[in-house]
Structure 1
Amino acid sequence: MTVSRRSFLGAAALISAGTISSRAQAAAIPEAPTMKEAGMQPPLVPTSGVDYNPVVTLNGWTLPWRMNGDWKEFHLVAEPVVREIAPGMVAHLWGYNGQSPGPTIEAVEGDKVRIFVTNKLPEHTTIHWHGQLLPNGMDGVGGLTQPHIKPGKTFVYEFQLRKSGTFMYHPHADEMVQMAMGMMGFFVVHPRDPAFRRVDRDFVFLINAYDIEPGSYVPKVAEMTDFNLWTWNSRAFPGIDPLVCGKGDKVRVRFGNLTMTNHPIHMHGYDFKVSCTDGGWVPEAAAWPEVTIDCAVGQMRAFDFTADAEGDWAIHCHKSHHTMNAMGHDVRNYIGVDKKAVAAKIRKLVPDYMPMGSAGMADMGEMEMPLPDNTLPMMTGFAQFGAVEMGGMFSVVKVRQGLAAGDYKDPGWFKHPEGTVSYEWTGASKNAFHAPSAPENRSSTAEVRVIKPGRRSNHDQH
C-alpha cells in the first residue's frame, strides 16, 4: 500500500459540503489506500470490536477502514488501473484503489458503514452494493435511486449491515463498459457471533472475463460471447495464487460471477458443502454435498470443507475453454493431417512458422513458441512432472501438514509418499516402483515463459 494503517487512520482531506450527505459534511474524508502489487496480501486482522477470522483475497487485498464515532468509514476511488493478468501480459482496465478488482470490503453484521466513493474516471459512475439490504437511496442505480457521480466528485453511501454473508460491489452506470473494464469488488460481512460458521481459512475471488487481442491492452467492451481471457480476480493461470491450507483446517472458498456466462467451479480431491449464497447462509442441516458447484451470472457461492487430504489439488472452472488463454476462436482442427510438406514451403516465406494440431494441442503446453507482444500462451504452466497445459480459471489448493495459522506462503510442490504416484507399466513388480522426482529446474510455482517475436525455442515443432 502507499499508506500505512497508522497514516490511513489519521489522514484526512476536506470536501465541499454540497457533494456529501449532511450527516457527514463535517467529517474529513479518510485516506484512500492504493495497492499496486499483483500478489495476495496478508489478511487484515481486526484489532478492536467483534472478533472474526478475516478473508484472504486471491491476488488482492482488504480495504482498511477507520472508526468515526459509531461509523466504519471506507474510501473507494474509481480510476483507470494497470493490472498484470499473468507474467508477460498487462491490461489497461478500470478499477478501484489501484487494482481490478477493487479491494475487498470486510465488516461485521450490525456495523454502520460509511463508504466515500471518489470518481477519477473519464465518465460518471455509481456503486451498487450487490445483495445488501439497505435504504433504496443507497442502492446505487444511477438515475433511478441517485444522481450519477460525475468525474472529480465524491459521493457517500451510508447504511447498516443487516445480515452477514457473501456480497460484492459494482457500478450500476454504463454497466456494459464499466464492468467489462474490470470494475467490481468483494464485500464480506462477518457474523456478529464469532463462533457462527467460523472457519480457519477463508478465500475469496471474483470471476471475470476479457477480450483483449494480442498486442493490445484495452478490453473490447462490446464483446458478449467470444472472450479470450477467463480470469479470477483479473488474473489468469499461471498468475493465480494457490489456495494454501494447513492439514485439518476448516476452509471456506467464496466466489462471485460477473461474466456473461455461468461457471461450474470444480475442486479435486474433496467433496464440499455449499454453505452460503448472496441470499444468505444455507442452514447446516440443508447444506448439500458437491464436488462441482455452478455459479450463474450475478450469483455468489461459498463452499466449506475440512482440509484433511494433503496434496496439490486442482481447482478450476469445468468449461474446458475457460482453462485456456488468448484463445483463437477460428482455429481449424487439423488432427490427422500431415502438414510437413506444406510447412516446409511456408517456412521459406515465414521462417518462424510452426504448424500445430496434427496430433492434438498438447505440444503447445511444452513449446516456448514466439508470441506477439502482450499476450499469453493458450496452454501453459509447468509443475513438478512437466507441462500443466492449462490457462485461465485454474489454480491449486495446496494442503500441507504443520502450517502456522497465518501462513499463506506457497509451500512448493507436494512430496508424494513412496508408491502413491501413477507410474508407467513396464512389467516390473510394483514393489520396485520409485516415484518420479520433480525436475530440479522447475520452480515451486507454476510458471510461464514467453518468447518474444523473432526468437526461436529449442522446442520448435517440425
Structure 2
Amino acid sequence: MNTRRQFLGGAGVAAAAVTAGSVSRAALAALPEAVVQTGAGTQPPLLPPTGRPYRPVVTLNGWTLPWRMNGGVKEFHLVAEPVVREMAPGFRAHLWGYNGQSPGPTIEVVEGDHVRLFVTNRLGELTSVHWHGQRLPNGMDGVSGLTQPGIPPGKTFVYEFVARRAGTFMYHPHADEMVQMAMGMMGFWVTHPKDRHPLIDPVERDFCFLLNAFDIEPGSATPRVMTMLDFNLWGWNSRIFPGIDPLVVRQGDRVRLRVGNLTMTNHPIHLHGHEFLVTGTDGGPTPRAARQPEVTTDVAVGQMRQLDFVADEPGDWALHCHKSHHTMNAMGHGVPTMIGVDHSGLARRIGALVPDYMVMGERGMKDMTEMAMPLPDNTAPMMAGRGPFGPLGMGGMFSVLKVRPDQPPGDYRDPGDYRHPPGSVAYEFTGSLPEPLRPTAAEAPAPGTAGQVELRVRKPGGGHAGH
C-alpha cells in the first residue's frame, strides 16, 4: 500500500476536543495512527491482521482503512481534509475527502464488532460523519446540531457503537453537506457476517465503489458546489474512464459488486455478457424469493445495491451507467446539435482566422475520439480510452469486467486485452447487398400525406425535471 503515516500525538492530542461518554482515559491516551493513501490505483484487499476473520472486499481505485485492536475494541482514525484526487491520467481535482483520498477509505468490520472511530477535522469549517444505514445510539448518528455539535476545525471527535447487522453501508457528512459532499466527502462501510448468513452467500471476488458527480470547468480543478443537475463529470470512486481500473476475475468465480450512490440523480448500472441478482440493499439482504435475474439495475440517490453473479463468460465485458451522458467527460450542456449541417464553407472562413479550428458534430460526436484537439491544462477529454480495435469513445461511469479462465485465484492484476477465439469477432460483410423491400404503389401513402400524423403536445409545468 502506497501510504504515508502521520501520528497525531503530543500537542496535537492535547489540543483535540475528544467527546465520547463511554471512552476511558486510558483508551484516549493516544490516538490510533492516521494512515493516508496517496495513490489512485486499486489496492489489494486488506486481509484482517487482528479481530474476527472475514473475506475482504476490493475497493475499486481505493483501499481499506487499517485499524488497531484496543481492549477488544476495533479503532479507526478518519481525517477530514482537502485532497488532490487524480480523476484520470493528467487530470487532477482539488477535492475534500478523508485520509488523503476522495472517496475516503473503505471501513471493514465484522457483525458484532465494538467499533470506535476517531474523526479529526482538518477542514476550515465544522463537519460531522453520518454512518448511513447503521443501527446505533442516536447520539452517534452524526447529524450536526441535532445529535451532536459539529466538529470544529482542528478538533477530534469519537464515535463508538456496535456493528449490529451485516451489510453494505456508506459514510458522509451531515454538516454543510451541499458543499462537503459536492467536494467529495464520502466513503464505503462493509460489515461482514460473523457466521454463515442464510441470505449472504460467500463469493470469490467482492468489489465496491461509490457513484459520484462533479461540475469542474475545463482548465480548472475545484468543483462548482452550487450545481444541482448539470454536472459534467460522472465518476466511480472519484475516477472517470479511462482512469477507472478494470474488475479482474477468474472464470467461474462468484462475484459481488457493491454499488453506492451519493450523487444528485439515479444511475442504471448495466453489465454486459452476464445476468446478476440484486442480493442486498443498505437496508439488508434481499429475500431469496424477491430476487430475479437482471442485466441492469437502477441505483437511486442515497441507495446501495449488491449484485451477485457467476463470471462464466470469458472476455472483456463493459460495465457502465446506462445514461449515455454519464459515459462522457467534461461535456457542456450548451453545445448546439450540428448533425446533418454542412458548415464546410464556414469552417474554411473561420480557419483563416483561427488556424486550429475543428468542425465538430456534423456527423455525430464519434469523430472526437480520434481528434487531437488541444485542451486547456488539467482537462479530461470528453471521450477517451483505447481498446484492441481502436478508440472506445467512452468516459465517465465506465469500466471493464475482465473474465479469464487462467487468472490465478486472488490475482487482481490486469491480464491485458482478451484474445478472442478464431471466428468469434464481428466482421465486415463483403457480399452483394440486395435492395430493401419497399411498399408497392397500392401500399404507399397518398401524395402529400406521408408523415402527416396528428400530434398534440402538452408541456408540463415545473420546469426541467433533471436527468
Using the size of structure 2 for normalisation, the TM-score is: 0.88
Cα distance in 1 for partners of 2:317, 2:284 equals 28
Indicate whether 1:210 and 2:243 are aligned.
Answer: no
Quick one: distance in 1 between partners of 2:231 and 2:191? 32
Q: Which runs of 5+ in 2 are unaligned?
A: 433-467
2:280 to 273, 276, 281: 276
Q: Which residue of 2 aligns with 1:112?
A: 114
Q: Is the 8 A contact 2:2 2:39 kept in 1?
A: no
Give the partner amino acid of 2:26: A
Alignment partner, residue 453 of structure 2: none
Partner of 2:132: 130
- Radius of gyration: which is bigger? 2
Q: 1:3 to 1:24 in 2, by over 3 A?
A: farther
Structure 1 partner of 2:342? 338
| 1:275 shift after superposition | 0.7
SS in 1 for 2:347: helix
Partner of 1:25: 25
- Name the SS of the counterpart of 1:166 in structure 2: strand
Question: Does 2:9 match 1:13?
Answer: yes
SS at match of 2:36: coil
The answer on 1:294 being equivalent to 2:298 is: yes
Letter in 1 for 2:183: M
Q: In the alignment, what sits opposite 1:41?
A: 43
For the pair 1:373 / 2:377, whether they are aligned, the reply is yes
1:206-263 Cα distance to aligned partner (Å, 9 max, x none)? 0000000011110000000100000000000000010101011000000111110000
Match for 2:363 among 341, 359, 366? 359
Residues 322-379 of structure 1: CA deviation (Å, up to 9, x unaligned): 0000001111111111111111111111111101111111101111211111111111
Q: Percent identity over the alignment?
A: 67
Distance in 2 of aligned mates of 1:48 and 1:402: 32
- The structural deviation recorded for 1:2 is 6.4
Deviation at 1:24, TM superposition (A): 4.0
Give the corresponding residue for 2:329: 325
Q: Distance in 2 between matches of 1:370 and 1:3?
A: 35
SS in structure 1 of the partner of residue 290 of structure 2: coil
Q: Report SS of the residue matched to 2:396.
A: coil
Looking at structure 2, the residues matched to 180 and 242 of structure 1 have their Cα atoms a distance apart, in angstroms, of 25
Contact 1:365 1:387 in 2 (8 A): yes
Q: Which amino acid aligns with 1:19?
A: V
Judged with a 3 Å threshold, the aligned counterparts in structure 2 of structure 1 residues 215 and 12 are, in CA distance, closer, same or farther, namely closer
How much does 1:120 deviate? Answer: 0.2
Give the letter for the 1:211 counterpart. Answer: D
How much is the aligned-residue C-alpha RMSD, in angstroms?
Answer: 1.6
CA deviation after TM superposition for structure 1 residue 20, in Å: 3.0
What is the aligned counterpart of 1:223 among 208, 221, 227?
Answer: 227
SS of the equivalent of 1:30 reads coil
TM-fit CA distance, 1:194: 4.9
Name the CA distance, whole Å, in 2 between partners of 1:316 and 1:24.
47
**Within 2, Cα distance between the matches of 1:168 and 1:48?**
23
CA distance in 2, matches of 1:50, 1:397: 30
Separation of aligned partners in 1, 2:187 and 2:337: 39
- In 1: Cα distance, 2:330 partner to 2:256 partner: 30
Count of aligned residue pairs for this structure pair: 424
| Structural mapping, 1:290-439, within 5 Å | 290-427=294-431
CA deviation profile, 1:69-107 (whole Å, cap 9, x unmatched)? 110000000000000110121100000000000000000
Render the CA deviation track for 1:291-331: whole Å, top value 9, x for unaligned: 00000000010100001100000000000000000001111
Shift of 1:193: 1.1
Structure 2 counterpart SS, 1:179: helix
Counterpart selection for 1:85 from 84, 87, 95: 87
Q: Which residue of 1 aligns with 2:103?
A: 101
Q: Distance in 2 between matches of 1:225 and 1:419?
A: 45
Q: Does the aligned pair in 2 maintain the 1:51–1:194 contact within 8 Å?
A: no
Deviation sequence 1:261-306 (CA, Å, 0-9, x none): 0000000001100011000001233322110000000001010000
Give secondary structure in 1 for the equivalent of 2:178: helix
Determine the structure 2 residue equivalent to 1:201. Answer: 205
* CA drift at 1:57: 0.5
Match of 1:439 in 2: none
